Amino acid sequence: IKAYYAKLAPLPAETTDGVRVELMANIGTHMDVESALAYGCEGVGLFRSEFVFMGRQNIPTEEDQFKTYKEAVEKCNGNLCVIRTMDIGGDKPLAYLEIPKEENPFLGWRAIRISLQRRDLFMPQLKAILRAGVYGKAAIMLPMVINVAEIKQVKELIEQAKIELAHEEKAFSNNVQLGIMVETPAAAVMAPMLAKHVDFFSIGTNDLVQYTLAVDRVNHNVSYLYNHFNPAVLNLIQTTIKAARDNGIWAGMCGEMASDPYAAVILMAMGINELSMSAPSIPKVKDKIRSVTFTKAKATLDAIMKMEDGDAIKEYLYKSL
Ligand code: PEP
Ligand code: MG
């Protein structure tokens, strides 16, 4: 099995009738890039930058962050490296950031909401990513976006960051893509409008499933309801991918759903361009994609979108793919 997967690494994730999807890796540190490449990823679809902020006693400086992102971007060898701005809050606290005790942390002060209010944390990160972009192909991705206003604010801050960098005579890239995670129902529903303001979408199903179904992603008592094939979730995903295609931007997925081979086939049929996952999942997803025709994937998608129940959809997929 190991040898077979090694042989698979350099091959594209392509159906037998020639439709391709890009497989990328989710990473937590710049040191994960090399092992991810060995599994055959075509770049990094999610660098969870909060790990750069965690496990330390003070705010990482622009210089600290620049070194880390530069190394990740360089190691991607010209492939895209998507750096998500810090997703703190919810279940991820920080020693040096006082987050008041909240009744509903997952609905509270987290991610982009913190970044937009704490410029002392956010500006050094934006500047560090813009600088790292000089060394390859970098992208900025915003977590937990719910509206257009947040994107507009970030764009202004990016412009300000560039002015400051120019003034400080530090090299930076003007070709860093800006994208958002679609991980709230609001973002999925508003995807046709949000798409006009960004270069890409990446669907974060870990949170999208939680928020759509009102099912806590870490509560075992309700885990039986947590199903990425739930028709409500599938409808939001389809809306998002269609909005991306209609507006000429690319759509990917970096939630756990992307590492489910059966889901990968369905997402491909919906028109997704990229799937990002923990590197060890890449071979099994690629293997599945290389075993089907796009025609078959399309027919299967048509069939499940008429079904009423997530568990029945799952069963149907296991049987027919
Ligand atoms: C997600 O929500 O799907 C995601 C990829 O982000 P995280 O798991 O870090 O919240
Ligand atoms: Mg998330």
Q: What whole-number distance in Å separates Cα of residue 68 and Cα of residue 86?
A: 14
Look at residue 10 in the predicted model and tell me its pLDDT.
94
Element (H, E) at 163: helix 148-167
> Which among 27, 44, 47, 48 is the best mutation to test ligand 1's pocket, defined by most ligand atoms within 8 Å of the CB?
48
Cβ 207 under 6 angstroms from ligand 1: yes
Going by alpha carbons, the residue nearest to atom 5 of ligand 1 is 255
Q: Are 31 and 72 in contact (CB under 8 A)?
A: no
Percentage, residues of the chain above pLDDT 90: 93
What residues are designated binding site? 48, 84, 183, 206-207, 217
Find the distance separating the first CA and the last CA of the chain, reported in whole Å: 20
Cβ 75 under 6 angstroms from ligand 1: no
Look at residue 98 in the predicted model and tell me its pLDDT.
85
- Ligand 1 centre to CA of 84 (Å) is 10
Looking at per-residue confidence, does 90 or 102 come out higher? 102
Look at residue 216 in the predicted model and tell me its pLDDT.
95
pLDDT one-digit tens code per residue, 9-22? 999 999 999 999 99
- Give ipTM to 2 decimals: 0.99
Element (H, E) at 80: strand 80-84
Look at residue 6 in the predicted model and tell me its pLDDT.
85
| 90 has pLDDT over 90 | no
Q: Are 129 and 71 in contact (CB under 8 A)?
A: no
Going by alpha carbons, the residue nearest to atom 8 of ligand 1 is 206
pLDDT one-digit tens code per residue, 3-62? 888 899 999 999 999 999 999 999 999 999 999 999 999 999 999 999 999 989 999 999
Atom of ligand 1 nearest to the CA of 46: 5
pLDDT one-digit tens code per residue, 91-133? 777 888 888 889 999 999 999 999 999 999 999 999 999 999 9
Look at residue 282 in the predicted model and tell me its pLDDT.
97
Q: pLDDT band for 1, please (50, 70, 90 cuts).
A: low
| Mean pLDDT, the chain, whole residue set | 96
Q: What whole-number distance in Å separates Cα of residue 229 and Cα of residue 318?
A: 12
pLDDT one-digit tens code per residue, 138-184? 999 999 999 999 999 999 999 999 999 999 999 999 999 999 999 99
Q: Are 251 and 245 in contact (CB under 8 A)?
A: yes
- Ligand 1 centre to CA of 257 (Å) is 10
Q: Say what the pTM is.
A: 0.97
- Ligand 2 centre to CA of 248 (Å) is 24
Residue positions annotated with a catalytic role: 254
> Which among 254, 257, 281 is the best mutation to test ligand 1's pocket, defined by most ligand atoms within 8 Å of the CB?
254
- Ligand 2 centre to CA of 296 (Å) is 31
Q: Are 204 and 212 in contact (CB under 8 A)?
A: no
Q: Are 167 and 215 in contact (CB under 8 A)?
A: no
- Angle at CA of residue 140, ends 117 and 11, nearest 5°: 150
Look at residue 83 in the predicted model and tell me its pLDDT.
98
pLDDT one-digit tens code per residue, 184-225? 999 999 999 999 999 999 999 999 999 999 999 999 999 999
